[in-house]
Homo-oligomer: A and B are copies of this chain.
Amino acid sequence: MVDRNPEQMQLFLDKLLRHSLLSDEEQQAILDLPGFEQKVSAGVDFVGMGERVDHACLIVAGLAGRFGQTDTGDRQIVELHIPGDMADLHSVVVPDSAMPLQAIEDVALRKIPHSALYGLCDRFPAVARSFWRDGIIDLHMVAQTLVSLGRRRADARLACLICELFLRFARIGRGDERGFEFKVTQPQIADMLGLTPVHVNRTLRVLREDGLLILKDSRVEILDWDGLAELAEFDPAYLQLDRVDLHG
Protein backbone atom coordinates (compact mmCIF):
# COMPACT_ATOMS: atom_id res chain seq x y z
CA MET A 1 0.00 0.00 0.00
CA VAL A 2 2.62 2.52 1.07
CA ASP A 3 4.86 3.48 -1.82
CA ARG A 4 6.86 6.37 -3.17
CA ASN A 5 5.94 8.59 -6.05
CA PRO A 6 8.50 11.30 -6.79
CA GLU A 7 6.40 12.70 -9.62
CA GLN A 8 3.55 13.49 -7.30
CA MET A 9 5.87 14.80 -4.61
CA GLN A 10 7.40 17.08 -7.22
CA LEU A 11 4.15 19.09 -7.18
CA PHE A 12 4.64 19.75 -3.51
CA LEU A 13 8.33 20.43 -3.87
CA ASP A 14 7.61 22.98 -6.59
CA LYS A 15 5.36 24.82 -4.21
CA LEU A 16 7.95 24.85 -1.44
CA LEU A 17 10.63 26.04 -3.85
CA ARG A 18 8.52 29.00 -4.79
CA HIS A 19 9.06 30.43 -1.34
CA SER A 20 11.99 28.56 0.19
CA LEU A 21 15.50 27.60 -0.76
CA LEU A 22 16.34 23.93 -0.32
CA SER A 23 19.53 22.01 -1.03
CA ASP A 24 19.66 19.11 -3.46
CA GLU A 25 19.76 16.69 -0.58
CA GLU A 26 16.73 18.27 1.04
CA GLN A 27 14.85 18.28 -2.22
CA GLN A 28 15.63 14.64 -2.80
CA ALA A 29 14.44 13.76 0.69
CA ILE A 30 11.10 15.38 -0.06
CA LEU A 31 10.76 13.53 -3.33
CA ASP A 32 11.46 10.30 -1.49
CA LEU A 33 8.72 10.75 1.06
CA PRO A 34 6.53 7.68 1.42
CA GLY A 35 2.77 7.77 1.22
CA PHE A 36 -0.24 6.20 -0.38
CA GLU A 37 -2.76 7.36 -2.90
CA GLN A 38 -6.45 7.79 -2.40
CA LYS A 39 -9.33 8.94 -4.58
CA VAL A 40 -12.14 11.00 -3.11
CA SER A 41 -15.36 11.85 -4.90
CA ALA A 42 -16.72 15.35 -4.96
CA GLY A 43 -18.62 16.20 -1.83
CA VAL A 44 -16.94 13.66 0.41
CA ASP A 45 -15.06 14.65 3.56
CA PHE A 46 -11.64 13.05 3.74
CA VAL A 47 -10.68 14.52 7.09
CA GLY A 48 -13.46 14.76 9.63
CA MET A 49 -14.11 17.50 12.12
CA GLY A 50 -12.12 17.01 15.29
CA GLU A 51 -10.51 13.88 13.92
CA ARG A 52 -6.96 13.16 15.02
CA VAL A 53 -4.90 12.39 11.97
CA ASP A 54 -1.50 10.78 11.56
CA HIS A 55 -0.84 11.84 8.00
CA ALA A 56 -1.00 14.98 5.88
CA CYS A 57 -2.87 15.13 2.58
CA LEU A 58 -1.16 16.27 -0.59
CA ILE A 59 -3.66 17.24 -3.26
CA VAL A 60 -2.55 15.59 -6.49
CA ALA A 61 -5.55 16.44 -8.65
CA GLY A 62 -8.84 18.24 -8.22
CA LEU A 63 -9.97 20.86 -5.77
CA ALA A 64 -10.38 20.52 -2.01
CA GLY A 65 -11.51 22.84 0.73
CA ARG A 66 -11.43 23.30 4.45
CA PHE A 67 -14.66 24.57 5.92
CA GLY A 68 -16.25 25.67 9.14
CA GLN A 69 -19.84 25.22 10.15
CA THR A 70 -22.31 27.04 12.33
CA ASP A 71 -24.83 25.28 14.53
CA THR A 72 -27.51 25.83 11.92
CA GLY A 73 -25.45 23.87 9.40
CA ASP A 74 -24.35 26.85 7.33
CA ARG A 75 -20.95 26.30 5.86
CA GLN A 76 -18.07 28.63 5.20
CA ILE A 77 -15.15 27.47 3.11
CA VAL A 78 -12.01 28.88 4.62
CA GLU A 79 -9.28 27.65 2.31
CA LEU A 80 -9.15 26.18 -1.15
CA HIS A 81 -6.45 23.69 -1.99
CA ILE A 82 -5.29 22.95 -5.49
CA PRO A 83 -2.85 20.33 -6.75
CA GLY A 84 0.54 20.77 -5.10
CA ASP A 85 -0.93 21.99 -1.83
CA MET A 86 -0.36 19.92 1.26
CA ALA A 87 -3.81 20.67 2.57
CA ASP A 88 -3.10 19.97 6.21
CA LEU A 89 0.63 20.14 6.55
CA HIS A 90 -0.04 21.89 9.84
CA SER A 91 -1.51 18.69 11.20
CA VAL A 92 2.09 17.62 11.81
CA VAL A 93 2.19 19.99 14.75
CA VAL A 94 -1.54 20.21 15.47
CA PRO A 95 -2.95 16.77 14.67
CA ASP A 96 -6.48 17.46 15.87
CA SER A 97 -8.18 18.89 12.85
CA ALA A 98 -10.30 21.86 13.89
CA MET A 99 -12.19 21.90 10.61
CA PRO A 100 -13.03 19.18 8.10
CA LEU A 101 -11.46 18.83 4.68
CA GLN A 102 -13.73 18.08 1.77
CA ALA A 103 -13.30 17.23 -1.89
CA ILE A 104 -15.00 19.99 -3.86
CA GLU A 105 -14.27 18.40 -7.20
CA ASP A 106 -13.21 14.77 -7.53
CA VAL A 107 -9.84 14.65 -5.86
CA ALA A 108 -6.77 12.46 -6.00
CA LEU A 109 -4.58 12.75 -2.97
CA ARG A 110 -1.48 11.24 -1.47
CA LYS A 111 -1.34 10.75 2.26
CA ILE A 112 2.05 11.31 3.85
CA PRO A 113 2.61 9.92 7.34
CA HIS A 114 3.39 12.51 9.98
CA SER A 115 6.26 10.36 11.14
CA ALA A 116 8.00 10.80 7.79
CA LEU A 117 7.42 14.54 7.69
CA TYR A 118 8.47 14.81 11.25
CA GLY A 119 11.67 12.92 10.61
CA LEU A 120 12.45 15.24 7.74
CA CYS A 121 12.06 18.28 9.97
CA ASP A 122 14.46 16.78 12.46
CA ARG A 123 17.10 15.97 9.90
CA PHE A 124 16.79 19.19 7.92
CA PRO A 125 16.06 22.41 9.78
CA ALA A 126 15.66 24.22 6.48
CA VAL A 127 12.81 21.87 5.61
CA ALA A 128 11.18 22.54 8.96
CA ARG A 129 11.44 26.25 8.20
CA SER A 130 9.91 25.83 4.78
CA PHE A 131 6.98 23.98 6.34
CA TRP A 132 6.52 26.72 8.89
CA ARG A 133 6.68 29.29 6.11
CA ASP A 134 4.13 27.38 4.11
CA GLY A 135 1.67 27.62 6.99
CA ILE A 136 2.29 31.34 7.32
CA ILE A 137 1.50 31.86 3.65
CA ASP A 138 -1.77 30.02 4.23
CA LEU A 139 -2.39 32.39 7.12
CA HIS A 140 -1.86 35.38 4.84
CA MET A 141 -4.30 33.99 2.33
CA VAL A 142 -6.99 33.37 4.91
CA ALA A 143 -6.40 36.86 6.29
CA GLN A 144 -6.85 38.28 2.82
CA THR A 145 -10.11 36.40 2.44
CA LEU A 146 -11.22 37.77 5.78
CA VAL A 147 -10.72 41.32 4.54
CA SER A 148 -12.78 40.48 1.50
CA LEU A 149 -15.68 39.07 3.50
CA GLY A 150 -15.61 41.86 6.02
CA ARG A 151 -15.22 44.82 3.75
CA ARG A 152 -16.29 44.07 0.21
CA ARG A 153 -19.56 43.48 -1.56
CA ALA A 154 -20.63 40.37 -3.32
CA ASP A 155 -19.43 41.36 -6.79
CA ALA A 156 -15.96 42.34 -5.61
CA ARG A 157 -15.65 39.19 -3.53
CA LEU A 158 -16.55 37.03 -6.48
CA ALA A 159 -14.14 38.89 -8.74
CA CYS A 160 -11.44 38.45 -6.13
CA LEU A 161 -12.00 34.73 -5.93
CA ILE A 162 -11.80 34.33 -9.67
CA CYS A 163 -8.65 36.42 -9.95
CA GLU A 164 -6.96 34.44 -7.21
CA LEU A 165 -7.88 31.07 -8.67
CA PHE A 166 -6.91 32.12 -12.17
CA LEU A 167 -3.39 32.93 -11.03
CA ARG A 168 -3.04 29.93 -8.77
CA PHE A 169 -4.24 27.59 -11.50
CA ALA A 170 -2.03 29.23 -14.09
CA ARG A 171 0.98 28.60 -11.90
CA ILE A 172 0.37 24.88 -11.87
CA GLY A 173 -0.54 24.71 -15.54
CA ARG A 174 -4.25 24.28 -15.16
CA GLY A 175 -6.19 26.54 -17.47
CA ASP A 176 -5.02 28.81 -20.27
CA GLU A 177 -4.80 32.53 -20.83
CA ARG A 178 -8.57 32.87 -21.25
CA GLY A 179 -9.89 30.93 -18.31
CA PHE A 180 -9.89 27.65 -16.44
CA GLU A 181 -11.96 24.63 -15.65
CA PHE A 182 -14.01 25.18 -12.52
CA LYS A 183 -16.23 22.27 -11.72
CA VAL A 184 -18.13 23.66 -8.78
CA THR A 185 -21.76 24.42 -8.09
CA GLN A 186 -23.13 27.80 -7.21
CA PRO A 187 -23.97 26.68 -3.67
CA GLN A 188 -20.28 25.82 -3.26
CA ILE A 189 -19.25 29.25 -4.50
CA ALA A 190 -21.70 30.70 -2.02
CA ASP A 191 -19.89 28.86 0.76
CA MET A 192 -16.59 30.32 -0.38
CA LEU A 193 -17.89 33.88 -0.42
CA GLY A 194 -20.21 33.96 2.56
CA LEU A 195 -23.28 34.42 0.37
CA THR A 196 -26.42 32.51 -0.50
CA PRO A 197 -26.66 30.46 -3.70
CA VAL A 198 -29.35 32.76 -5.03
CA HIS A 199 -27.18 35.79 -4.61
CA VAL A 200 -24.23 34.11 -6.24
CA ASN A 201 -26.42 33.49 -9.23
CA ARG A 202 -27.46 37.13 -9.40
CA THR A 203 -23.89 38.30 -8.98
CA LEU A 204 -22.62 35.99 -11.71
CA ARG A 205 -25.24 37.43 -13.99
CA VAL A 206 -24.14 40.99 -13.28
CA LEU A 207 -20.50 40.18 -14.00
CA ARG A 208 -21.56 38.45 -17.21
CA GLU A 209 -23.70 41.40 -18.28
CA ASP A 210 -20.82 43.74 -17.49
CA GLY A 211 -18.62 41.72 -19.81
CA LEU A 212 -16.20 40.64 -17.12
CA LEU A 213 -16.50 36.87 -17.00
CA ILE A 214 -18.68 33.93 -17.89
CA LEU A 215 -19.10 30.77 -15.84
CA LYS A 216 -20.60 28.10 -18.02
CA ASP A 217 -20.26 24.36 -18.44
CA SER A 218 -17.88 24.12 -15.50
CA ARG A 219 -15.49 26.61 -17.00
CA VAL A 220 -14.64 30.21 -16.14
CA GLU A 221 -14.08 32.38 -19.19
CA ILE A 222 -12.37 35.65 -18.37
CA LEU A 223 -13.55 38.37 -20.72
CA ASP A 224 -11.91 41.42 -19.18
CA TRP A 225 -9.05 40.76 -16.82
CA ASP A 226 -8.31 44.41 -16.14
CA GLY A 227 -11.91 45.15 -15.32
CA LEU A 228 -12.06 42.15 -13.05
CA ALA A 229 -8.87 43.04 -11.24
CA GLU A 230 -10.08 46.58 -10.76
CA LEU A 231 -13.41 45.46 -9.32
CA ALA A 232 -11.59 43.02 -7.06
CA GLU A 233 -8.92 45.55 -6.09
CA PHE A 234 -6.72 42.60 -6.82
CA ASP A 235 -3.12 42.69 -5.70
CA PRO A 236 -1.42 39.39 -6.40
CA ALA A 237 1.43 40.09 -3.99
CA TYR A 238 0.03 37.94 -1.24
CA LEU A 239 -0.10 34.94 -3.51
CA GLN A 240 3.23 35.04 -5.18
CA LEU A 241 5.45 35.80 -2.26
CA ASP A 242 8.74 35.23 -3.97
CA ARG A 243 11.39 33.32 -2.23
CA VAL A 244 12.55 34.67 1.07
CA ASP A 245 16.25 34.10 1.26
CA LEU A 246 16.95 36.04 4.37
CA HIS A 247 17.99 33.03 6.40
CA GLY A 248 17.71 30.44 3.68
Q: Looking at the complex, which one of B93, B146, B237 makes contact with A145 (CB distance below 8 Å)? A: B146
With both chains docked as a complex, state the minimum distance between the C-beta of A102 and any C-beta of chain B, in angstroms: 14
Q: Is A79 an interface residue (CB 8 A)?
A: yes
Q: Which of B69, B118, B129, B233 contacts A70 (CB 8 A)?
A: B233
Among A78, A144, A146, A238, residue most surrounded by chain B Cβ atoms (within 10 Å): A146
Give the residue name and chain of the B residue nearest to A97 (CB): B140
Question: Is B132 in contact with A76, judged by CB distance below 8 angstroms?
Answer: no
Complex-state Cα separation, A152 to B145, whole angstroms? 16
Interface residues of A in 40-55 (CB under 8 A from B): none
A168 within 8 A of B: no
Contact B68 A147, beta carbon cutoff 8 Å? yes
Name the CB-closest residue of B to A98. B140
Which residues of the other chain, B, contact A246 by a CB distance below 8 angstroms?
95, 114
Kindly state the separation between the CA atoms of A137 and B129 in the bound complex, as whole angstroms.
17
Closest chain B residue to A75 by CB distance? B151
Do B194 and A76 have beta carbons less than 8 Å apart? no
**Which residue in B76, B94, B129, B143 is a CB contact (below 8 Å) of A79?**
B143
Verify A93–B139 contact, CB threshold 8 A.
no
As a 0/1 sequence over residues 93 to 118 of chain A, the CB contacts with chain B under 8 angstroms (1 = contact) are 11110110000000000000010001
Q: Mark A128-139, 1 if CB is under 8 A from B, else 0.
A: 110111011111
- Shortest CB-to-CB span from A119 to chain B, Å, is 10
Inter-chain contact A146/B151, CB cutoff 8 Å: no
